[in-house]
Chain A
Amino acid sequence: MKAHRSILQKASLASAVIVGFGVAGTTAGANDAAPPGRSVAYAWTERHEAVYESKDKDGKEARLECPNGLNDNGIREQMAALFPEPAGKNYKLVDAHLAREAEIWFPNTEADKFPFHEVGGTTAYGLNLDGKVKPSDFTSPDGQVKGIDNQFYRAVGCIPSYREGSSQRLFYTQYLESRPFNRTVMELTDVDSLENDDDVTVTTYRGLHPLVRDAQGEFQADTTQLVDTAWGRDFVWASKAKIVNGVLITTKPNDLAWPNENHTNASIDRMREVRFEMKLAGEKIEGLMGGYFDIENTYHALIRRFDSHQISYGKLAAGSLYKVLHRLADGYPDPVTGKNTAISGALRVYGVRVHLIHPEKEVADAPQTGGPRPTQAAGGGE
């Protein structure tokens, strides 16, 4: 199955690698040339928690990072253990299901009645947020980056929901594409070179248009996104950045909110001191977004996104997760209690290049038909 998938999809997969940084299809030019209008934009096509999973030499899951195995105490399993149903035994709804539901909506940090397996390895994806190398920190899989702050991974890395192939990750991917609410774009401006440039500006926005797939089912590059200036102001985030050997590194950590509507409901996710490290690869962009998850917000966003039914798909028990997030929290101590309220973490983000239209700049003076202004080189120039 894998074999012919790669053949069927050779065109688009290859283009990312082979075309390199040429702004393929529309403008010829070397990697170090300025993009048209000195700007380039990308729309997110996939975004999920950065979870390192060890593999054995055959490329199969080795799970070395989970010395106690994967968590098997999901919400359903906990329910079954707490309320066994021997013949004839019946519980009142208010004592059983509703009580459990209440525990999800009003979680606590008391000790968990159920065993929880957290990550025991020392390898992880992520960024070194505090510039220090501490005992609890991780090292990147290639050994290059030390001091990685990703305690969120320690919490969730052994929960099947957060691992490759899980339904949760499938939902993230599906709904990032299918719900317009989630559309997120990143624009790089003041770019003189996509290879090396020590001063560029990075801004994220909410976009308004659907992602488009090509006839092979891959994300189509160079479609148009209109910036949402009406309802998307909360999601605007900006930072200075540099590009080093084709890798974009933001330099001004800054709090970021992003829309995340999923199975059940819409939520706004928040991360503090966000920074990006993204590889620019022609039509594609891929990399890490790191920072501190606000625990209360992160938890409530999760249980709003998925109801207990979806959460149970990957042996996740929200109440148990709440406890462990607080236990491993490593940032933003509460001024009164001194307890940390945030936890370091990272997301893996993938994007595809798009044209961006800023309504305030471009639509206002567009032709009367409402069309875009006959536009700069990238537009008409081919």
Chain B
Amino acid sequence: MCLAATMLAGGAFVLASAGVAAEPAKDEKAAEVGARKHLRLLTTQQYLNTVQYVFGPDITVDVKFAPLMRTDGVLMAATSIAGVGDAQLETYQKIANLLSTQVIDPRNRESLIPCKPADEKAADRECAGKFLTRVIDALYFVPPPKEHIARLVDEAGTSADRMQNFYAGLQVVLEGVLLSPSVLLVAEKEEPDPKRPGQMRLDASSQAARLSLFLWNAAPDPALRAAANRGDLFDARKRSRLVDAMLASPRLETGVRAFFDDMFGLEDLETLSKDSTVYPYFLGGVSDQAREQTLRTVVDQLLTKNGDYRDIFTSRATFLSPQLGILYGVKTLPGWNAYEFPPEAQRAGILTHASFLARASHATRSSATLRGKALRELIMCQKVPPPPANVDFSAVENPDPRLRTARERVNQHLENPVCAGCHRITDPIGLSLEKFDGAGRYRETERGAEIDPSGTLDGKEFADVVGLSQALRDSPALPSCLVRRAYSYATASVVPPSSNAMLAQFGKTFASDGYRLRPLLRAIAMDPSFSVVSTPTPAPEKSAAVSQSTNVASNN
């Protein structure tokens, strides 16, 4: 096998992609930054992916867990810090109740319960045991003691007798299992690392969970857990084979969609609304489709075509639904269809998708500032500071009616020294997107005045949005931001400044792999820092944020 996954003692080598020789990457110190061990909450989608992998996609609910707070640029990092209040438990209980009721429903029990009770009106501990053992094995990310399974089976029996109904007894226990902290939480555990005396690593099941949540957006399935428990993840060659198998699985698409949904802030589209008097063509449901358009485009370019990450910002190839066709002024057939914008169109890259344009706009108008800010923060990992407390908003909130275009209005920002510092970071790039209105539809004019879409990005000048997309594609911040977000997402952690050298190294590998996604995911999944446990460094989040905002300021 020519897989270059050679894990040396001490983990001093970064592992590159298949077929490329491993190169010495970092010194011991860099490897030690690692990630901390976490108690992670499953996201709604992770929970459903996990449960549906066991019971099938028909067992479902349309209920969402409490929203997460974007932490250092990614939602996933918040799963390691978010609390769970009583109301959240009530949500879990509601979901568990609905799901378990569906499982034991006469329509489903035939296929989902592997046996039939001797008497439906009484307990059958053998059948209940068969079912619950399988379910717990598939759902609990660490196997519980045998006595605990016995305890739950017994509970199902007692309940069945009490209610004189085998399935009712099974349902109450399944409901309990489905809201168990062993299913909804992933408690990572450390153990001494035999290869680095005195240091700690994540134990086998924690590593399996981390890999699976990262690549598949679901808790590990029994096969992966079994492999982990055999020690395969500690064996470089076997780990490499496992990771490759995960990257080759169709479940990778689920994982990649979840990652980019997180990175590009697409969850905002769930609640996005537009003023229908201003944007009557922003039809109900179109924001969900805009989200889907971007995710399909990303998956197509990065997985199906195995393309360069940077090209998603310039590519004219995408997928459209009829409702998006209305917004974009394009003929469309029902369903999703591949579409390529013609060369003369101003739509190139995901900045020109409604998922970006409409998301970073107000309900009644476009916003150069919001778009510039979203581009800086989500895509380039730069921090735009909030407005200072003493700012006078009257000029922008009650704009002079004679100022017709956004450019004329936001010049207010740039003339006022209090505003100019930050708005110089956002507005010149946002203004080049002004040819798209607040719903994302193309326009030539605003209130009768021609729109000038020229702008600059970090010193590079361009005439229109196609130029902006090209400038962005060529910006070094673009791939380095993806690396940062992917690592943070993979480890559900805020990346401390001490990890910058390690990220830079991932960046180099990413570049040498032609900015293709799979090798990057592989490099992260194989990297020792993914699996070792570091000692926490104090208050990493704050210093990270500060250093990033300084970064931007110095760029301008």
- Within 8 Å by CB, do A and B touch in the complex? yes
The answer on a CB contact under 8 Å between B322 and A212 is yes
Bound: A357/B337 CA distance, A = 14
Would B339 and A374 count as touching, CB distance under 8 A?
A: yes
**B333:A380 contact, CB within 8 angstroms:** no
For residue B338, give the distance in angstroms from its CB to the closest CB of chain A. 4
For residue B53, CB closer than 8 A to chain A, the reply is no
Q: Select from chain A the residue with minimum beta-carbon distance to B320.
A: A371
A369 to B283: give the CA distance in the assembly, Å: 25
Given A215-B281, A216-B276, A380-B342, A371:B337 Cβ within 8 A: yes
A379 proximity list for chain B (CB < 8 A): 329-331, 342
Within 8 A of A (CB), among B346-361: 346-347
Question: In residues 294-345 of chain B, which contact A (Cβ within 8 Å)?
Answer: 320, 322-323, 325-326, 328-335, 337-342, 344-345
Check B442–A382 contact: CB distance below 8 A: yes
B332 partner residues in chain A, CB cutoff 8 A: 224, 371-372
Choose from B281, B328, B338, B347 the contact partner of A369 (Cβ within 8 Å).
B338
- A117 to B341: give the CA distance in the assembly, Å: 61
* A 115-166 contacts with B by CB, 8 A: none
Chain B residues with CB under 8 A of A381: 329, 342, 344-345
Residues of B with C-beta under 8 A to A10: 277
Q: How far is the CA of A375 from the CA of B337 in the complex (A)?
A: 13
Docked CA distance A119–B345 (Å): 56
Interface residue? A268 (CB, 8 A): no
Most B CB atoms within 10 A — which of A26, A357, A369, A380? Answer: A380
* CA gap between A220 and B283 in the complex, in Å: 9
Instruction: State whether B277 touches A224 (Cβ < 8 A).
Output: no
Residues of chain B with a CB closer than 8 A to A355's CB: 331
A25 within 8 Å of B by Cβ?
yes
Given the interface pairs A11-B280, A215-B284, A374-B342, the reply to whether A369 lies near B331 with Cβ below 8 Å is no
Name the interface residues of A328-382: CB closer than 8 Å to any CB of B. Answer: 355, 357, 363, 367, 369-372, 374-375, 378-382
The B interface is mostly helix, strand or loop, or mixed, namely loop
A367 to B331, CA, bound (A): 14
Chain B residues contacting A220 (CB-CB under 8 Å) are 280-281, 283, 326
The count of chain B contact residues (Cβ–Cβ below 8 Å) is 36
Tell me the minimal C-beta distance from A207 to chain B in angstroms: 12
Produce 1/0 per residue, A202-237, CB < 8 A to B.
Answer: 000000010011111010101110100000000000
Contact B280 A218 (CB under 8 A): yes
Report the nearest A residue to B323, measured CB to CB: A212
Contacts of B340 in A (CB 8 A): 374
Complex CA–CA separation, A99 to B393 (angstroms): 79
Contacts known (A8-B277, A223-B322); A215 close to B282, Cβ less than 8 A: yes
- Nearest Cβ distance between residue B246 and chain A, in whole angstroms? 28
Whether A224 lies near B331 (C-beta < 8 A) is yes
Does chain A have a CB within 8 A of B485? Answer: no
Asked whether, in the complex, the Cβ of A215 is within 8 Å of the Cβ of B337, the reply is no
Does B441 belong to the interface (CB within 8 Å)?
yes
Residues in chain A near residue B320, CB distance under 8 A: 371
Residues 1-57 (chain A) with a chain B CB within 8 angstroms: 8-12, 25-26, 28
Q: In residues 274-295 of chain B, which contact A (Cβ within 8 Å)? A: 274, 276-284
B219 to chain A, nearest CB (A): 34
A367 touches B338 (CB 8 A): yes
Q: Interface readout for A90-105 with B: 1 if CB under 8 Å, 0 if not?
A: 0000000000000000
- Determine the chain B residues whose CB is within 8 A of the CB of A378 once the complex forms: 329, 331
State A163–B326 Cα separation when bound (angstroms).
35
> Whole-angstrom distance from the CB of A315 to the nearest CB of chain B?
38
Q: What is the CA–CA distance of A370 and B332 in the complex, to the nearest angstrom?
A: 10
* A214 contacts B276, C-beta separation under 8 Å: yes
Residue B408 interfacial (CB < 8 Å): no
B333 touches A371 (CB 8 A): yes
Per-residue contact bits, chain B 251-279, to A (CB 8 Å; 1 contact, 0 not): 00000000000000000000000101111
**B328 and A382 within 8 A (CB):** yes
Decide: A370 near B329, CB < 8 A? Known: A215-B283, A381-B345.
Answer: no
Q: Which 9 A-B pairs have the closest CB atoms?
A: A371-B337, A215-B276, A380-B342, A214-B280, A382-B442, A369-B338, A355-B331, A216-B280, A26-B329
A-B residue pairs in contact (CB < 8 Å), sample of 15:
A11-B277, A11-B280, A215-B282, A220-B326, A224-B331, A224-B332, A372-B337, A374-B340, A379-B331, A379-B342, A380-B330, A380-B341, A382-B329, A382-B345, A382-B442
Residues of B within 8 A of A (CB): 274, 276-284, 320, 322-323, 325-326, 328-335, 337-342, 344-347, 441-442, 444
Besides A214-B281, A357-B333, A374-B339, 19 other A-B contacts (C-beta < 8 A): A9-B277, A212-B323, A215-B279, A215-B281, A215-B282, A216-B277, A220-B283, A222-B326, A223-B322, A357-B331, A369-B337, A372-B339, A374-B340, A374-B342, A379-B342, A380-B330, A381-B342, A381-B344, A382-B347
